[in-house]
Amino acid sequence: MTSIPALVRFDAYATLTPEDVANLIPLVGQPTKISRGEHIFHEGDPAPNMALLLDGWTASTISLPDGGRQMLKVHLPGDMVGLPGAPLDVMPDSVVALTDVTYSPIRADALGRLFEASPRVAALLFLISQEERYMLMDRLTTVGRVETPGRIAGFLLQLHARMLRQNPGIGQIVRCPLSQRDFADLVGTSETHCNRSIQELRHLRLVDWKMRQIMLLDIDGLRDLAMLPQRRVRRDQSWLPLVH
């Protein structure tokens, strides 16, 4: 593990060398602070608009003309936001702060120089992007094929696994700034039905859910409901380019 918490995602597959870290430093710009509820960018803003989250939580959302909103992902410190907009003319999603947030903008030309300076870090960025893809695939699967309690279980497990990787020792407790309204937007259901599904999870003794503190009482039971296997990352990526 590197000593820089914001780079946790990069050393999931290989220990970052001092050279790797030196190559990553120019990527991130001046830290910026925003308050809960403010946006890093809105859907429709000119692309690219990328950032590295340093502190706090954000959420990526897409809004619909009928007032509906799909929450695609919540981001933790160390996550990068705005990357899916890189190929496009305008950003496809909005990123809103769920807490007070500190982030660093990422400039596209700095990204270009990173690819040139370090094939190895570029390959790590490739792996991180593929991670985002399978996590989206898992969420599409539960939202498409599983009933609401299972969708909630699936999201909770995915979030818990991510929090564990970045902060081992949280145990089975998920502390997060998400309201039941937010959970409904995450799993694609109404606030009312989300509330009743949470009560069902409580009644099955799978979770102890009070306000914004969720204790996972029966991880295997939650996994059965979500109907998805646990994903395990493979740390030996022997194909990765070596440091020059």
Q: Give yes or no for residue 116 binding its own copies (CB under 8 A).
A: yes
Q: Which of 1, 37, 145, 173 binds its own copies (CB under 8 A)?
A: 145
Q: Residue 57 forms beta bridges with which residues?
A: none
Alpha-carbon gap, residue 76 to 109, rounded angstroms: 25
Site for its own copies in 216-235 (CB under 8 A): 227-228, 231-234
CA 181 from centre of chain = 18
Q: Which of 56, 78, 85, 105 binds its own copies (CB under 8 A)?
A: 85
Edge-to-edge, what's the strand order for the sheet holding 39-41? Answer: 39-41, 94-97, 58-63, 69-75
- Smallest distance from its own copies to CB 183, Å: 12
Under 8 Å between Cβ of 97 and 58: yes
SS3 13: coil
| β-strands 58-63, 69-75 pairing | antiparallel
Q: Which of 3, 18, 30, 144 binds its own copies (CB under 8 A)?
A: 144
Q: Which of 8, 24, 47, 96 binds its own copies (CB under 8 A)?
A: 47
Kindly give, in sequence order, each residue whose CB lies less than 8 Å from that of residue 65, ignoring residues fewer than 6 positions away: none
| List of residues contacting its own copies (CB under 8 A) | 12-13, 47, 60, 62, 64-66, 68-70, 72, 83-90, 92-93, 108-109, 111-113, 115-116, 119-120, 122-123, 125-134, 136-141, 143-146, 187-188, 227-228, 231-234, 237-241
